Amino acid sequence: MAQIVIAEEAGACYGVERALELVLTASESVEGPLHTLGPLIHNPLVVRELEERGVTVVEDAREVEPGSTLVLRTHGVTPEVKRVALAAGAKVIDATCPFVMRAHRAAERLERDGYQVLIVGEAGHPEVEGTLGHAPSAVVVGSPEEAASTELSKKVGIVVQTTQSKENLLNVIEALVGRTEELRLIDTICEATSGHQGACERLSKRADVMIVIGGRNSANTTHLAEIAQKNCGRTHHIERDDELDPSWFTGAELIGITAGASTPAAQIESVRERIQTIVG
């Protein structure tokens, strides 16, 4: 009989669990409309469940009406976005992950202390945009090549998008060493991401089939799927358990499951149960 193994570290991280709890509590207690700024997490199922509880998504803080409540998601926002919502007469519940806030504070501090701030991360990603809002003169570098072509000051301070890989960070640092007088790193990579990736790497090396659960628009889930695919050719990225195709499991002895940081435990369990029903 096939064995089904869930990666040691998989699914919703501390920041996502905390944000979900804040919104669920708010949906039972606040008066007036309740919105999230953008989808709370990159998980269509969860977003739909929240909609059923009356939580709607607005794409811009300027859309909120007086008397409403706006929840800021784990990725964080610029100080300006918060100001706009408050000025519109809305209440704000800040669900920014504390680890992202740490990156905001680090960037602010470095800029105040006269460092040229480099944010190692993906330009345009909401988390990076939020961090930029806290250190407006910062420069975003996504790769060692970009770091190599960036003109440097005498004092350079680095903060990192929480979901970056250590490998990319080390390569960027290598491209900077020797080109400035002082290079300071505040390592703001979140351990949840590297823990998920490490567990996925180990499991996918043993598995005959890997199932990766999470939104297709979720960067960290897509990255898990890439890691799994590298080690296990029979990798499938799904959002819902009804996407599982019984033919995927033919002849498989070990079926591995992992899930992105925005996948609640209940979704992982329902996928596990469905696979169990398929393989018997």
Residues annotated as catalytic (active site), given as ranges: 127
Which residue number places its CB atom closest to ligand SF4? 15
CB 186, CB 158: distance < 8 Å: yes
Name which position in 90, 192, 225, 268 contacts ligand SF4 (CB under 6 A): 192
* Furthest-apart CA atoms within the chain: distance in Å: 64
How many CB atoms are closer than 10 A to CB 230? 12
Q: Side chain identity at 266, as an amino acid letter?
A: A
Residue with Cβ nearer ligand SF4 (116 or 161): 161
> Binding of ligand SF4 at residue 97 (CB under 6 A)?
yes
Mark residues 40-59: x for contact with ligand SF4 by CB under 6 A, - for none: --------------------
Q: Which of the 8 DSSP states describes residue 219?
A: H
Q: ∠ CA(237), CA(238), CA(241), 5° rounding?
A: 145
**Which residue in the set 4, 16, 23, 176 belongs to the binding site for ligand SF4 (CB under 6 A)?**
16
- Interacting residues of 218 by C-beta distance below 8 A, sequence separation 6+: 41, 42, 43, 260, 261, 262
**Smallest gap from residue 127 Cβ to ligand SF4 (A):** 8
- 176 scored as a contact of ligand SF4 (CB under 6 A): no
The residue (of 257 and 261) whose beta carbon lies closer to ligand SF4 is 261
Beta carbon nearer to ligand SF4, 180 or 222: 222
Of the ranges 14-22, 83-91, 229-237, 248-256, which one interacts with ligand SF4 (CB under 6 A)? 14-22
**179 touches 149 (CB < 8 A):** no
CB 204 within 8 A of CB 235: yes
Quick note: the x/- pattern for ligand SF4 over 209-248, rule CB under 6 A, is: ----------------------------------------
User: CB of residue 98 vs ligand SF4: minimum separation in angstroms?
Assistant: 7
Q: Extract the tokens encoding 191.
A: 């351990």
- Our separate counts of H helices and E strands in the chain read 10, 12
* DSSP annotation string for 192-212: HHHHHHHHHHHHHHH-SEEEE
Shortest reach from residue 15's CB to ligand SF4, in Å: 3
By the criterion CB under 6 A, which residues form the site for ligand SF4?
Answer: 13-16, 74, 97, 99-100, 162, 190, 192-193, 261
